[in-house]
Amino acid sequence: MITHHLSDKLLMAYSAGSLPEAFNLAVATHIALCDECRARLASFDAIGGAMLEQTQPTSVVLQDGALAATLARIKAAPAIAKPVHEPRGEGILPEPLASYVGGDIDQIEWRGVGGGVRQAILQTSKIATARMLYIPAGVAVPDHGHNGMEMTLVLQGVFADETARFGRGDIEIADEDLDHQPVAEPGEDCICLAVTDAPLKFRAFLPRLAQPFLRI
């Protein structure tokens, strides 16, 4: 049961194709798990399509061959890779996340970041960073603030912070106004996809020291 969803703003930006790759990945993966946001996206896509149609000139008579040339250009244009919103049958990771990871969670090459927390940075454009996070059951991520936007999508387990509780499929959207300390609930290790477009603000000295090496 997903209770934390994408904002209209994010769905609109995703529909318009204006998000950095890492954010696209988080949005598409949430949509793969969430019927509600998939339906909301469909209506934003429809609105976008209608707006495009309205901006087409209607009274211009195309010169001979112009229409054919335009159609040929459209046909020749490379197909835009639309993420597949199909959850995978078995594993924990739906598409398109599974493709970025190169399989399911057993394919992830984790690196320790301290306190038992592990990460794996995914290959995306440099404008924003996407990482898989592994938080052992009962373990807390260091208390931090944000210099930009952070989206955290839960794939396995549950984490809670000062604002709420997040389980599989839930997405937390944090910005400059939020300081929090996510803690994985006891019982099951928590695995998340976290994307950020700016470094986090750590209060404690040690995480601050390690930050440049971990690209957090």
Query: From the CB of 216, what's the least distance to Zn ion, in Å?
Result: 10
Which spans of this chain sit near Zn ion (rule: CB under 5 A)? 5, 34, 36-37, 150, 174
Query: From the CB of 27, what's the least distance to Zn ion, in Å?
Result: 10
What is the rounded CA–CA span in Å between residue 149 and residue 177? Answer: 10
Query: From the CB of 138, what's the least distance to Zn ion, in Å?
Result: 19
Would you say 93 or 153 has its CB closer to Zn ion? 153
What is the rounded CA–CA span in Å between residue 121 and residue 101? Answer: 9
Dump strand ranges (E) for the chain: 111-114, 117-122, 129-135, 144-146, 150-156, 159-160, 165-166, 171-174, 183-184, 190-196, 200-202
Query: From the CB of 31, what's the least distance to Zn ion, in Å?
Result: 7
**Core vs surface per residue 77-111: b (16+ CB within 10 A) or e:** eeeeeebebeeeeebebbbbbbebbeeebeebeee
What is the rounded CA–CA span in Å between residue 57 and residue 8? Answer: 29
Query: From the CB of 180, what's the least distance to Zn ion, in Å?
Result: 6
Would you say 34 or 193 has its CB closer to Zn ion? 34
Would you say 5 or 131 has its CB closer to Zn ion? 5
**138, burial (CB in 10 Å: exposed 0-12, middle 13-18, buried 19+):** middle
Would you say 175 or 188 has its CB closer to Zn ion? 175
Would you say 86 or 109 has its CB closer to Zn ion? 86
